[in-house]
Structures are given as C-alpha cells and as structure tokens.
Amino acid sequence: MTATTAPAPQAARPAPSPTAKKLSGKTLKEKETRWDKRAAWFLAFVTTVIVVGLWALSAYKLDAPPLGRGAQGDTVVGYALGILTLVLYGVVAAYSMRHRKRVQKRAMTRTWMEVHLAFGLVAGLAAVLHSGPRLLSAAPLHGAFLVAWLLLIATGFFGKIIGVVVPRRLTRIEDEALLAEDVTEKQAAMRKQIEELLQANPDLAEYANTTVPKAIKNPQAYGKRRMKRPDVIEEVWTQTNGPTAVAADKQDTAKRLVTCLVEERFLEQMQGYHWMLRAWVPVHVALTTLCFPWLIVHIVTVFLL
C-alpha cells in the first residue's frame, strides 16, 4: 500500500533485503515478549497483594481471637486461598503438560515460561498462607503435603537460577556450542586418542596418568584464560616441567597428550554443567505429579475425616 503512494525518490531506494525484514520482525517480537513478561509479573504481583491482603484480613480481623482461631485452612479466607492454589496449580501444570505433548520438547515459549515462574511462586505463597501458616503443628499428612508443595516450588526456583547461571559458565569454557551428546562423543574420541598415544609411547604413561592430571586445575580456576585453551595448555606444560622432564624426542607427543588431557578435563566440566541443567527437571516434574493425587487426598481428608 505504501509503495503505491510513495514519492518518486523513495521508489529509487533499494528494496529492503529479506534478512532486514526478518530482523525487524524478530526485534518487534522481542519487544512484544518483553511486555508480555512484564504483564505476567505485574498480574502475579497483583495476585500476591490480594493473597496477602486476604490473609491479613483473616489473621488480624475476621478470624482474630477471640472472634476465631486465627487464620486457618477452614475459614472463608482459608478456603479461598486453598481454591486459588488449586487453580494456580491447574494453570501452571496444565500448560506445561500441554506444551510438552505438542512440541515434544521441554523448552517453553518465553512468555508462558514467565507465567509459569511468576504464578508458580504465587502458588507457593498462597498455599503457605492458606495453612495459617502452620507447618510443624499441621497434622503429619497436611504438613508433609505442604513440604512436598514447597519442594516443588523450590526445585523450580533453583532450576531457574541454574538455567541462568550455568549456561554462562558453559559458554565460557566451550569453543563451540555443543549438545550433551556431542560432548559425550568428543569425550570418547579424546580418550581414544590418549589411549593410542600411550600405547605407542608407554614411557609417557606416568607423565600422562599422574603428573599432568595433578597440574590441571578446575576450568573455572583459570579465570579469563579459560577462554584461551592454548594458554591453559602452555601453563600445564610449564608447570609439569615438560621441557625438562620429557625426553627431547618425545616432547611433541607429550605436548599432544597435555592438549588432549586439558581438553578432556574441560569436556568433563561441560558434561557436568549439562547434567546440572537437566537433573533437576525430573524432580520438579515428579513433584508436580505427586502433588496432584495428594491435593485430592488433602481435600477428601479435610472434608471427610
């Protein structure tokens, strides 16, 4: 439409490249997502204010002694907070399950992830205030349920922190972005190379199996130099007295071994980081699954027993 009404000088301009169009579209989407994220946290904040307000109303006015027994699960506010927790569980968990089925992978869209984080935290607070708060004095079954619920929230919270901190550390020690499977493959290749070098040079076994591993530090301990692998290799080579400790005709092989061993140590660390990124998820999901029947048991027991 703009093209037909555009003045002549504009028509002379080169048409925007498809990449530029793609980029601007992406940027717009990023902006949009940012607003969605803010909206999610704002709504969660409003819900938090309502939850705390309702609880304070119950604890200090409606159910305050001698009028009542204080804030409890079976007061009007207690029921409201219990039901709200149930609804929040539905929103937070149902989306995850649906998404999992549809996309066949764990990554969630950024906006929904934000809803998940923000409202997941509110669900934790709402459950605590619904109980009174009463944890140690709560009947064992209800108390244990609250503990399981808080563990669910806590695993999610720590998982989120891991998801922010670990990738940064990971990119600082990897030459290229690798999947966990690629790291395993590289590790196997590196080990094979070390074994082959040692088979051909058995006199370097002591140097490669004892001296070098002792000299290699934790990758993070190399500070900024961890990004420059040749510097780390040089440091290990010097620290192990490579130039004097190894026979002149074996120096090249020994240095190759140091390179492989340093690489292997870094790969091991990468594998550790990949493990951290994944390990908490099954616990978080298992707790989600556990809390569902437990919610039903809780509701049945508080009404029937």
Binding positions for ligand HEM, rule: CB under 6 A = 72-74, 79, 82-83, 85-86, 89, 92-93, 96, 99-100, 106, 116-117, 120-121, 123, 127, 130-131, 134, 138-139, 142-143, 145-146, 149, 152-153, 156-157, 159-160, 163, 281, 284-285, 288, 295, 298-299, 302
Q: Residue 180 Cβ, how far from ligand HEM at the closest point, in Å?
A: 13
Q: Residue 10 Cβ, how far from ligand HEM at the closest point, in Å?
A: 46
> Quick one: 83 or 205, whose CB is closer to ligand HEM?
83
CA distances, 152 to each of 39, 48, 113, 120 (Å): 24, 19, 16, 9
Q: What CA–CA distance (Å, rounded) separates 267 from 196? A: 19
* 294, 148 contact by CB (below 8 A): yes
> Quick one: 130 or 265, whose CB is closer to ligand HEM?
130
> Quick one: 95 or 255, whose CB is closer to ligand HEM?
95
Q: Residue 255 Cβ, how far from ligand HEM at the closest point, in Å?
A: 40
Q: Which residues contact 192 (CB under 8 A, 6 or more apart)?
A: none
> Quick one: 47 or 131, whose CB is closer to ligand HEM?
131
> Quick one: 159 or 219, whose CB is closer to ligand HEM?
159
> Quick one: 85 or 269, whose CB is closer to ligand HEM?
85
* 84, 126 contact by CB (below 8 A): yes
Q: Residue 296 Cβ, how far from ligand HEM at the closest point, in Å?
A: 9
Crossing angle between the packed helical segments 180-200 and 251-304, to the nearest 10 degrees: 150
> Quick one: 234 or 294, whose CB is closer to ligand HEM?
294
The position carrying tokens 């530090």 is 217
Q: Residue 75 Cβ, how far from ligand HEM at the closest point, in Å?
A: 8
Residue 138 CA neighbour count, 13 Å, CB half: 23
Q: Residue 133 Cβ, how far from ligand HEM at the closest point, in Å?
A: 8
Q: Residue 14 Cβ, how far from ligand HEM at the closest point, in Å?
A: 42
**3-state SS string for 257-301:** HHHHHHHHHHHHHHHHHHHHHHHHHHHHHHHHHHHHHHHHHHHHH
